[in-house]
Amino acid sequence: MTALSRLADHLMQSEWRSPDISVQHKPDGSPVTSVDLVLNDTVGSFLDATWPGIWIVSEEDPATFEVPDPDHVAIVDPLDGTENFISGLPIWGISVAVWWNGRHHSSVLAFPELGLCAITGGHEHRFRSRIVGHPSSSSMSSLADRASGPENRILGSAAFNLFCVATGRFASFSNRTGAHAWDILGGLNLARERGCTVLVDDREYSGEFLDPRGRYCFEVRR
């Protein structure tokens, strides 16, 4: 069993929702819950113990965004889809990606309430969907323009959208307004490993680490 497989097992087997979840708001107005912070500590402790000295970038800690050594780094979104989580919707997940010695080492996407997980080296069943996924930032007019094409979905979690393309549940997913590196790096690498076409800022993505201080337009298609 690989290191991230052990982490995935723990994340999938634990109960993260409880009746006393607290919610605060960041300076940009986005919500963060007590579960975001617990998951952040859980994943961070695991990564520290598994790869001593690794630099951990977390959405919940802006002090980590300036990376001193991109050859030995992990990037974590401890709870992607926080609005869904707060609203009682099960479409939320944990995204982790690790680079070691300058190369992408492994990634995991775990969705505990859905019972779904994808990990580097995994062999999930592949569907053949024609559905196109869209980010929550999509405008109604942009979706109306697509009304005569394939069916469309907005699910509220970049990690789950990317999981869906990687496993064939979606035909494609793109974001033309830009997403943070922690939102997408785990999913981009898993999709790439499973034979998807992955473009970042209109260039082929090759598995490199992306600076967490930037935002990135991307497209992933099966």
**Residues 65, 167: one domain?**
no
The residue out of 119, 154, 186 marking a domain boundary is 119
Regions in the chain scoring below 50 on pLDDT: none
- The confidence score (pLDDT) of residue 137 equals 81
Structure tokens at 22: 């607290």
- The confidence score (pLDDT) of residue 78 equals 98
Residue 210 and residue 216 in contact, taking contact as beta carbons nearer than 8 Å: yes
- The confidence score (pLDDT) of residue 147 equals 59
**Residues 32, 92: one domain?**
yes
**Residues 199, 153: one domain?**
yes
- The confidence score (pLDDT) of residue 143 equals 60
- The confidence score (pLDDT) of residue 150 equals 81
How far CA 1 is from CA of 7, 45, 48, 123, 178, in Å, comes to 10, 19, 18, 14, 35
**Residues 113, 140: one domain?**
no
**Residues 110, 151: one domain?**
no
How far CA 87 is from CA of 8, 21, 27, 44, 90, in Å, comes to 24, 12, 21, 26, 9
**Residues 44, 100: one domain?**
yes
pTM, rounded to two decimals: 0.94
For 209-222, how does the pLDDT look when each residue is reduced to its tens digit (9 = 90+)? 999 999 999 999 99
- The confidence score (pLDDT) of residue 211 equals 98
**CA gap 9, 12 in Å, rounded:** 5
The residue out of 73, 93, 119 marking a domain boundary is 119
Indicate whether 192 belongs to any domain: yes
66: domain range?
Answer: 3-119
Q: How many domains does the chain have?
A: 2
Domain of 158, CATH number, reads: 3.40.190.80
| Cα dihedral 76, 82, 45, 66 sign | positive
